[in-house]
Amino acid sequence: MKSGFVNIIGYPNAGKSTLFNTFFPKKLAIATHKAQTTVNRIKGIINKSNDYQIILSDLPGYLDHPVNLFHEKLNILIKQAIEDADLTICLLDSTKPIPAQFETLYQLITPNNNCLVLINKLDLINLELKNAIENYFKTNFPDLKTYFISILKPEHPLKFLDIILPFIPEHPPYFPDNDDISDLPQKFFIAQLIRENIFLLLHQELPYECFVHIESFKETPKITSIKALIYVNKDSQKSILIGKAGSMIKKLSTQSRINIEAHLGTKVFLELFIKVKENWKKESTILDKIIY
Higher pLDDT pick, 137 / 284: 137
pTM of the model: 0.81
Cite the residue boundaries of each domain of the chain with CATH code 3.40.50.300: 2-167
Task: Give residue 267's Cα distance to chain centre.
Answer: 26
**What's the pLDDT at 249?**
95
Instruction: State pLDDT tens for residues 28-53.
Output: 877 665 556 677 788 899 998 889 99
Instruction: Give the pLDDT band of residue 109 (cuts 50, 70, 90).
Output: confident
**What's the pLDDT at 273?**
95
Residues contacting 162, CB < 8 A, separation 6+ = none
Cite the residue boundaries of each domain of the chain with CATH code 3.30.300.20: 186-290
Q: Which of 96-110, 204-218, 257-271, 278-292 has the lowest mean pLDDT?
A: 278-292
Is the pLDDT confidence value at 8 over 80? Answer: yes
CATH fold of 186-290, please? GMP Synthetase; Chain A, domain 3 (3.30.300)
CATH of the domain spanning 2-167: 3.40.50.300
Instruction: State pLDDT tens for residues 231-247.
Output: 999 999 999 999 999 99
Q: What is the mean pLDDT of the chain?
A: 87
Instruction: State pLDDT tens for residues 113-154.
Output: 899 999 999 889 999 999 999 999 999 999 999 999 888 775
